[in-house]
Structure 1
């Protein structure tokens, strides 16, 4: 390894230029198949350190290429020589991957310490990923002989891997991984990555002491995701880890308190109170959320993303195009058809009233559920979407006068209420699943609440 240091002086720059940026070093004494490229010296650096890593080889190791990496954030730049036979690079000496020395590197015994070659991790939180993921990738990349394959491995494939989950899901996984990393770093002899199954079982036990059941679930998913990125088997498949989580859930098991479904009678009372001819834009906005969510079995995320251009109204129905949904991983889109009932509480009529007052053109792509602001003309819509918290507050304010306990209701009460009403009206389960975009019967049945007559139907049909 050869170090050449030059000051930012005219003589130093002229000397480097005269040497053609270390051209003297590219003499037969070092030229055994290597060809160093020329680089421009960045003039704004006060001190320039040129680090040349040259792996000597035999005449057969002829085809090597030089990769030049310039760093504007440090006072050094490096020429990294990458061989088709051996991958090598230099990393800043101050760079560490984890907080403890024992967890500083995960690498193959035949692979040298190296700067990660994978440079296309996404979502901004990628620094939370252990260096072992990239080290494992570097080990795999070192075996490649084709430069096109190397390019795919260092840029395209990492993007696909990080994009395999929704951005929000990846963010939650990385946050859970960070918690594991912090805990493991605080313990003596606990390796962060790859995760030891016994150590991870102890971590589940730690979360059990805290009563953090959801944190344990996210930890399992996060550890599996991170190991999958490196192509390694996950410790979450270990029987000890599985039993530890099952024991945690069994010991802390408690009844699940689900929100009560909204009934059609409650909706009728809400419409009488707020659907009068002089209803304000704010009232019509809340009515739109309530009636469309109920009739379309919609989640809040579905309603939030609807724009006027997604809605098509005919004399018989309102069709809403959902560009994306929670269970639509590949963004194929789906359509929800809501029938016109020709009643005062018709959801299509409520939508038409809201559209007329809102004033969005038919091709408008702004969200329909937007924040409002006061003006001389009264309330006018902004371009900003309404938050989940504010939407929930306004909906519960409308429901509160007509229920005994408002804490038993939420935005999911609208989706559950519509599905339960269809179930109690003996709508075929297949149609309910399609209308609500449920992929499984188990997920659908959680939302279905039979009424008193439906509860008696099985025993009434026994013929005794």
Structure 2
């Protein structure tokens, strides 16, 4: 057991030393026997997120990291490009040994559940002990921060909020929230189900408790208990309700909005131009709000007859490899490229690369006109939604069934109606699966009738 504990702590410290130097390394979690143990696997995911596909600080560093270990006498190496592939070069027998004294080598067999619990209990203590040595002095303070980065900031914020509520409940019942017993979690979740909370709230509480125990990895996770899993499955069935999808927005609706707000050439009102540019860009680019709000001037590149929009990070791009959306300058009333050019000129930010494109607008008495707010902060979700619903109300459309996702759904639906290939729609919308893509496309009644009509021809 001592061997496994030392090995887990060593791997965690190894990751810290690599990440803090800004270089890339891949330890194959799926193929090396010992790597499935927490905190190492959890830590590897965090490492990939922090490194973000960047390059090493050392210009002379080779593309292969030689780790001081052997695989049955063969050197184990991991290519830096392998960090995204989940593979590494291993001998056929796949047996792993670390170059440590014989008395400290890992066991050849997979540890049982009881042995894993003991590893989780002692790993942090060993890391703390190792951090007292000069060569590992920065590891102790860095490991927790790096592991926390396995989730996005918004997800971490949400989990912390829900776990705090769980902790308050535990205090009121005079039981421990960490480490929590499976029985305590079962009673808590059961109470939520009986209260009739939404499925989303139930899942948020469950995953926040699971995340907190994984992150601190001081004990085996009580959320892995079979009773908890059965309880969650039952709760989802009881609490699940039909999903009410937002209605897609069509090009005809956008044209009506432009008719009310004014043609591009004659429109010098920054507020209305911002609204139209924002709606057209979201529609044509199939943009999520998080992608739209984080666009900066430097992310927009105008080319001959088209425009590229660089999406630095998105929901499906957790490692920030980046995506590029290409939009044609087709001309006409609904051309998003022409409206973006007009908006950037009117806002006077075309030469300010670090400025967020869509943000708050205020009236400046000194110059007697509306201008972008001096604070370089992206527009909020609430304000962007208000602008969309306000535009719909102005053209006489009931805004109740619409939201910001209506623009993304509307763009995808229109592309499908125009017989754009499913592959291109999936790439353009940055969807990972066909199922996700299809959820955004609403077939018109004529297309739905084609199925039954074809049966009787």
**Superposition TM-score tier, normalisation by shorter sequence:** 0.5 to 0.7
In the other structure, the counterpart of 1:265 is 252
Q: 230, 249, 256: which is aligned to 2:243? A: 256
Matches within 5 A, 1:335-346: 335-346=324-335
Deviations 1:156-200 (A, max 9, x none): 322210111111111111111111111122224x33222222221
Q: 140, 164, 173: which is aligned to 1:154? A: 140
CA contact (8 A) 1:201 1:241 kept: yes
Cα offset, 1:363, TM superposition: 4.5
Alpha-carbon separation, structure 1, partners of 2:409 and 2:293: 18
Q: Secondary structure at the match of 1:331?
A: coil
Of Structure 1 and Structure 2, which has the larger fraction of its residues in helix? 2
Cα offset, 1:291, TM superposition: 0.2
Against the structure 1 CA distance between its residues 415 and 312, is the aligned structure 2 distance closer, same or farther, given a 3 Å change threshold? same
Q: Secondary structure at the match of 2:411?
A: helix
Against the structure 1 CA distance between its residues 250 and 147, is the aligned structure 2 distance closer, same or farther, given a 3 Å change threshold? same
Q: 373, 377, 395: which is aligned to 2:388? A: 395
In the other structure, the counterpart of 1:380 is 371
In the other structure, the counterpart of 2:436 is 443
Cα offset, 1:461, TM superposition: 4.1
The alignment yields a C-alpha RMSD, in angstroms, of 2.4
Against the structure 1 CA distance between its residues 180 and 137, is the aligned structure 2 distance closer, same or farther, given a 3 Å change threshold? farther
Cα offset, 1:142, TM superposition: 6.2
Matched, 1:207 2:198: no
Alpha-carbon separation, structure 2, partners of 1:175 and 1:417: 34
Q: Secondary structure at the match of 2:360?
A: strand
Q: 337, 350, 353: which is aligned to 2:339? A: 350
In the other structure, the counterpart of 1:430 is 423
Alpha-carbon separation, structure 2, partners of 1:210 and 1:220: 16
Against the structure 1 CA distance between its residues 246 and 138, is the aligned structure 2 distance closer, same or farther, given a 3 Å change threshold? closer
Alpha-carbon separation, structure 2, partners of 1:269 and 1:288: 14
Q: Secondary structure at the match of 1:218?
A: helix
Q: Give the TM-score normalised by structure 1.
A: 0.67
Higher relative contact order (CA 8 A, sep 6+): 2
Alpha-carbon separation, structure 1, partners of 2:286 and 2:442: 14
Q: Secondary structure at the match of 1:169?
A: helix
Name which one, 1 or 2, has greater alpha-carbon Rg: 1
Q: Secondary structure at the match of 2:440?
A: coil
In the other structure, the counterpart of 2:289 is 300
In the other structure, the counterpart of 2:91 is none
In the other structure, the counterpart of 1:282 is 271
Alpha-carbon separation, structure 2, partners of 1:225 and 1:390: 32
Matched, 1:187 2:178: no
Against the structure 1 CA distance between its residues 155 and 383, is the aligned structure 2 distance closer, same or farther, given a 3 Å change threshold? same
In the other structure, the counterpart of 1:309 is 298
Against the structure 1 CA distance between its residues 186 and 146, is the aligned structure 2 distance closer, same or farther, given a 3 Å change threshold? closer
In the other structure, the counterpart of 2:151 is 165
CA contact (8 A) 2:299 2:309 kept: yes
Q: Secondary structure at the match of 1:383?
A: coil
CA contact (8 A) 2:295 2:356 kept: yes
CA contact (8 A) 1:228 1:234 kept: yes
In the other structure, the counterpart of 2:412 is 419
Alpha-carbon separation, structure 2, partners of 1:194 and 1:445: 42
Alpha-carbon separation, structure 1, partners of 2:131 and 2:406: 58
Q: Secondary structure at the match of 1:312?
A: strand
Alpha-carbon separation, structure 1, partners of 2:347 and 2:168: 49
CA contact (8 A) 2:131 2:140 kept: no
Q: Give the TM-score normalised by structure 2.
A: 0.67
Q: Which runs of 5+ in 1 are unaligned?
A: 1-132
Alpha-carbon separation, structure 1, partners of 2:187 and 2:157: 24
Deviations 1:246-300 (A, max 9, x none): 2222222222112111011101111111132134110000001100000000111
Matches within 5 A, 1:114-133: none
